[in-house]
C-alpha cells in the first residue's frame, strides 16, 4: 500500500501552494497531491480573473493581499518566472452617502497598512476616466499600486515545479471518516491511502 504523511486533494493553485509552503515551513514528511485533471483547464485557477487588491474593510485581508503581492513580485528571483503583474488598480464606487462613508472607513484601514489607496470625488473620477458618467456617484476609491491581475497559471506552475510532492492523476472518490477525523481516502486506480492531518 502506498502511504503519505499528507495527502492533498486537488492540485491547482491552492493545493500546490499548500504542498510548497509545507516544505518551506520545514515539513520533511511525504506529501502527495491528487488531481483528476493535469491540464487544469476547468480549475478555478484557470478560470478566475486572477485579480489581487488591497481594498478591504478588514486589516487581516489587507495584510494577506500585501503578502500575496510581494510573493508575486518576487517570483522572478525565487523561481525565475515572471508572473506579469499588471498594476492597473481597482476602482470601487459609491452612489449614496452611506456608501461613501463605507469607502472612507475602509480607506482608513487600508492606509494604516501603507496601501496606496486614494479617495476620489466625482469630479476626480471624471478627470481620470472621462468616459464614465459620474452624475449619480458620491465617492470613488482607487488602488493605483499593488492591485491588478497576474498570471495565475504561471503561479501554479511555479508551485508545482518547485515542490517535491508526489503528483497523482486521479479523482478522489471516497473518504473514510472515523470519530470526526478523516482516516483514509480512495480513488479508482488505488487502494485506500491513510491520511494524517497535522
Give the pLDDT confidence score for residue 168 in this predicted structure: 81
Alpha helices of 25-118 — where are they, by DSSP H? 44-47, 59-73, 75-79, 97-112
Following DSSP, what letter does each residue of 18-45 receive, concatenated?
Answer: HHHHHHHTT--S-EEEEES-TT-TTSHH
Cell numbers standing for residue 98:
452611506
On the 0-12 / 13-18 / 19+ scale of CB atoms within 10 A, 77 is: exposed
Give the pLDDT confidence score for residue 172 in this predicted structure: 74
Report the alpha-carbon distance of residue 107 to residue 56 in Å, rounded.
Answer: 8
Q: Is the pLDDT of residue 197 over 60?
A: no
Q: Where are the domains of the chain?
A: 1-48+163-198
Range of lowest pLDDT (46-50, 63-67, 106-110) = 46-50
8 or 94, which is more confident:
94
Give the pLDDT confidence score for residue 196 in this predicted structure: 45
| Residue whose grid cell is 508545482 | 160
Chain mean pLDDT for the chain: 89
Report the alpha-carbon distance of residue 72 to residue 84 in Å, rounded.
Answer: 9
Q: Is the pLDDT of residue 59 over 70?
A: yes
Give the pLDDT confidence score for residue 3 in this predicted structure: 75
Give the pLDDT confidence score for residue 181 in this predicted structure: 55
Give the pLDDT confidence score for residue 190 in this predicted structure: 55
DSSP secondary structure code for residue 55 in this structure: -
CATH superfamily of 1-48+163-198: FAD/NAD(P)-binding domain (3.50.50.60)
pLDDT digits (tens, 9 = 90+) for 88-138: 999 999 999 999 999 999 999 999 999 999 999 999 999 999 999 999 999
Query: Taking a C-beta distance cutoff of 8 angstroms, is the pair 65, 72 a contact?
Result: no
Confidence of residue 167 (pLDDT cuts 50, 70, 90): confident
pLDDT digits (tens, 9 = 90+) for 137-166: 999 999 999 999 999 999 999 999 999 888
- What integer is the mean pLDDT of 54-61? 97
Give the pLDDT confidence score for residue 92 in this predicted structure: 98
Residue of 5, 8, 46, 15 whose CA lies nearest to 187: 8
- What integer is the mean pLDDT of 33-46? 91
pLDDT digits (tens, 9 = 90+) for 178-191: 655 555 556 555 55
| Kind of pairing between the strands at 139-142 and 6-9 | unpaired
Amino acid at each position: 500500500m502506498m502511504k503519505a504523511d499528507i495527502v492533498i486533494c486537488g492540485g491547482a493553485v491552492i493545493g500546490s501552494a499548500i504542498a510548497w509552503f509545507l516544505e518551506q515551513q520545514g515539513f520533511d514528511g511525504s506529501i502527495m497531491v491528487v488531481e483528476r485533471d493535469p491540464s487544469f483547464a476547468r480549475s478555478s485557477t484557470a478560470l478566475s480573473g486572477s485579480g489581487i487588491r488591497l481594498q478591504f474593510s478588514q486589516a487581516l485581508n489587507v495584510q494577506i493581499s500585501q503578502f500575496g503581492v510581494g510573493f508575486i513580485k518576487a517570483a522572478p528571483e525565487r523561481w525565475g518566472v515572471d508572473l506579469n503583474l499588471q498594476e492597473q488598480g481597482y476602482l470601487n464606487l459609491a452612489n449614496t452617502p452611506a456608501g461613501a462613508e463605507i469607502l472612507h472607513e475602509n480607506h482608513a484601514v487600508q492606509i494604516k497598512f501603507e496601501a496606496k489607496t486614494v479617495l476620489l470625488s466625482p469630479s476626480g473620477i471624471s478627470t481620470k476616466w472621462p468616459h464614465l458618467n459620474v452624475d449619480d456617484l458620491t465617492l470613488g476609491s482607487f488602488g493605483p499600486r499593488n492591485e491588478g491581475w497576474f498570471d495565475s497559471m504561471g503561479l501554479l506552475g511555479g508551485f508545482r515545479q518547485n515542490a517535491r510532492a508526489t503528483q497523482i492523476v486521479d479523482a478522489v472518490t471516497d473518504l473514510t471518516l472515523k470519530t470526526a477525523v478523516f482516516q483514509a481516502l480512495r480513488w479508482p486506480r488505488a487502494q485506500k491511502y491513510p491520511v494524517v492531518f497535522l
